[in-house]
Amino acid sequence: MAARTYSAAKYERQPDGALFYYFLVSVDGHPHTPAVMTTETYHRHVGEVLGLEDGTQVRIRTVESMDDETAGRGLDGVLIVESL
């Protein structure tokens, strides 16, 4: 199940209602729970705090660049996160 995130950066929203999918990995290397989040904004940055749909918050520690494997799985990126 994908967790939705909410961002104050409304100017980044896509006009056509597109959703972006990110795989979340904890700093210990294991998939975060929830492991996938969806968002209406594409740009993510280190230090950004994300509020997930389940009420938890995470801080982005690393934004990994896209590669063929990530793109082939239908993901827009991989975020290394720490729970707050």
Q: Please report, for the chain, the start and end positions of each structural domain, with discontinuous segments joined by +.
A: 2-9+16-83
pTM for the predicted model, two decimal places = 0.76
State yes or no: pLDDT of 4 exceeds 60.
no
Q: Rounded to the nearest 10 degrees, how much is the dihedral formed by the CA atoms of 26, 69, 9, 59?
A: 10
Distance CA 84, CA 73 (A): 28
Residues forming a β-bridge with 26: 81
Residue 62: HSE in the Cβ half-sphere, 13 Å Cα cutoff = 10
The confidence score (pLDDT) of residue 81 equals 98
Tens-place pLDDT, residues 7-66: 444 444 445 678 899 999 999 999 999 999 998 888 899 999 999 988 999 999 999 877
Give the pLDDT confidence score for residue 65 in this predicted structure. 75
Q: Which helix (H) or strand (E) holds 1?
A: none
